[in-house]
Amino acid sequence: MVENYNDVKTVNTFEIKERSYFSILWGRFKKNKMAVISLYFIIFLIVVAIVGPLVSPYHYTMMDYTALYQTPNAKHWMGTDDGGRDLATLIIYGLRNALIVGFGAGLVEVFIGILIGAIAGYLGGQVDNILMRFVDIMFALPSFLLNLVLVVVLGRSLFTILLAIGLTSWAGMARLVRGQVLTVKQLEYIEAAKALGASNLTIILRYVIPNSVGPIAVALSFNIPGAMMMESGLSLIGLGVMPPMPSWGGLIAQGSRWMLSYPHMVLFPAGAFALTILAFTFVGDGLRDAFDPKQSD
């Protein structure tokens, strides 16, 4: 460390590299190769989900009775299903739905989780007690069952499904955020912030949440595939998105019926699903490495 700065000042003509917290995180994230590959893969999936439906010559409602159960070929890259629909197109639409449900439910979950967790953790006392008992109740109820009820009540659309999944899965996030807030709030820099004249709301938003963002992001990257699984689970038992809109769960359910004679019908959607979930998990690992405060660059 340079203590005598008079010399330094003349040498260094004050070039300030713009460095953000984000660039430091990225530096650490980059070290995890699988996480980086997975991140690119997820970006690729998002691009495919947006562009795919536009460029595909097929539509998920287009049935071709002259091309049933086809194995992969030049016209149908992943073959066709029992209705002669192009499997690749179905998977792309399924991917789009899975991503919408995954990110949408994640967003709902993070929003409710941070709201409840931060209020409970920061205010403490009776408020904390009441909110956390509510969280305990949410935990105790089987979320799949709760999802079924909500989907039945709210109706079966993509939006209601992601809402239902988000509404039933925020309890863990709330607990996590509360724990983080409890840890951060007793740190000395929160007291310093008070001494500087920051209000409670400012303290939560500017100092507590940013310093809790690591565990939240990590949890989220594991919960997004969780939401996708939940949606597939609903589709599997016929309560997911309304057919003929394809969903991965539905495709797997349908394909598994022909598993022995036409294995491609289950292998492609199941494979795509597995890879996607794996990618999110690897990104979660990378994020955890990046946010780990013990690691220094």
What's the closest the beta carbon of residue 213 comes to other proteins, in angstroms?
Answer: 8
- Binding characters for other proteins, 181-200, by CB under 8 A (x = yes): ------xxx-xxxxxxxx--
Binding flag, residue 22, other proteins (CB under 8 A): no
24 binds other proteins (CB under 8 A): yes
* 13 or 261: CB nearest other proteins: 13
Minimum CB separation from other proteins for residue 180, in Å? Answer: 13
Amino acid at 223: N
Residue 261 phi, psi dihedral angles, 5° rounding: -85, -40
Identity of the residue, 163 or 216, whose beta carbon is nearer to other proteins in the bound complex: 216
What are the Cα distances from residue 207, in Å, to 184, 188, 199, 202, 235? 8, 11, 11, 8, 41
Minimum CB distance to other proteins smaller for 21 or for 65: 21
Q: Which is nearer to other proteins, 210 or 271 (CB)?
A: 210
Of the candidate residues 14, 54, 66, 201, the single one contacting other proteins (CB under 8 A)? 14
Q: Which residues of 236-260 are buried (b: 16+ CB within 10 A; e: fewer)?
A: beebbbeeebbbbbbbbbbbeeeee
Stretch binding other proteins (CB under 8 A), from 6-14, 127-135, 142-150, 229-237: 6-14
Rounded to a whole number of angstroms, the minimum distance from the CB of residue 26 to other proteins is 14
CB 218 → other proteins: shortest distance, Å?
Answer: 16
Q: How far is the CB of 112 from other proteins (least distance, A)?
A: 24
Note whether 2 binds other proteins by CB under 8 A: yes
Which residue in 3, 57, 140, 153 binds other proteins (CB under 8 A)? 3
Q: Which residue's CB is nearer to other proteins, number 126 or number 296? A: 296
Query: Could you say whether residue 26 binds other proteins (CB under 8 A)?
Result: no
SS (H, E, C) the chain: CCCCHHHHHHHCCCCCCCCCHHHHHHHHHCCCHHHHHHHHHHHHHHHHHHHHHHHCCCCCCCCCCCCCCCCCCCCCCCCECCCCCEHHHHHHHHHHHHHHHHHHHHHHHHHHHHHHHHHHHHHCHHHHHHHHHHHHHHHHCCHHHHHHHHHHHHCCCHHHHHHHHHHHCHHHHHHHHHHHHHHHHCCHHHHHHHHHCCCHHHHHHHHHCHHHHHHHHHHHHHHHHHHHHHHHHHHHCCCCCCCCCCCHHHHHHHHHCCCCCCCHHHHHHHHHHHHHHHHHHHHHHHHHHHHCCCCCC
- Residues 105-124 close enough to bind other proteins by CB under 8 A: none
By beta-carbon proximity to other proteins, the closer residue of 66 and 296 is: 296
Count of residues in contact with other proteins, rule CB under 8 A: 32
Nearer to other proteins, 2 or 54 (CB): 2
Least spacing, CB of residue 214 vs other proteins, in Å: 10
Instruction: Kindly give the interhelix angle for 33-55 and 264-291, rounded to the nearest 10 degrees.
Output: 130
291 binds other proteins (CB under 8 A): no
Please report, as ranges, the residues that interact with other proteins according to CB under 8 A: 1-3, 5, 8-9, 12, 14-19, 21, 24, 187-189, 191-198, 202, 207, 210-211, 293, 296
